[in-house]
Amino acid sequence: MHDELFEVPIEDSIDLHAFLPADVRDVARDYLAAAHERGFTEVRLIHGRGRGVQRALIQQMLRTLDFVFGWRDDEHLGATIVVLAPNPVKFPGR
């Protein structure tokens, strides 16, 4: 059993293969919130190609986040490209 916590670097992409399938949505949600807070406006969630189960779960979760403008599939990479709203705190006056 692995209950160790570790900090995920907030960059322009995250590879979700490193996480247990049951944790992927929560990890992705937390990553997106942190990326938005830091001012990112586009990030890549790498979930794999497979049967599309993780992609569907990720895209279902994206519909619940008010700071997500939209997304598109990158089927070649097995990823979802997420467009985030500009963070008004990070960029005042915009």
Looking at residue 32, which CATH number applies to its domain?
3.30.1370.110
Question: What span, in angstroms and rounded, lies between the C-alpha atoms of 71 and 6?
Answer: 27
- Edge-first strand listing for the sheet containing 79-84: 13-15, 42-46, 79-84, 68-74
> Looking at the domain assignment, is residue 5 inside a domain?
no
Which pLDDT score is estimated for 90?
A: 65
Structural domain that includes position 76: 13-84
Which pLDDT score is estimated for 51?
A: 81
- Which ranges of 2-78 does DSSP label H, i.e. alpha helix? 24-37, 53-62
pTM as predicted: 0.84
Q: Using one digit for the tens of pLDDT, what is the confidence trace for 42-77?
A: 999 999 888 888 889 999 999 999 999 999 998 788
Q: Where are the beta strands (DSSP E) in the chain?
A: 13-15, 42-46, 68-74, 79-84
Domain count, the chain: 1
Question: What span, in angstroms and rounded, lies between the C-alpha atoms of 24 and 30?
Answer: 10
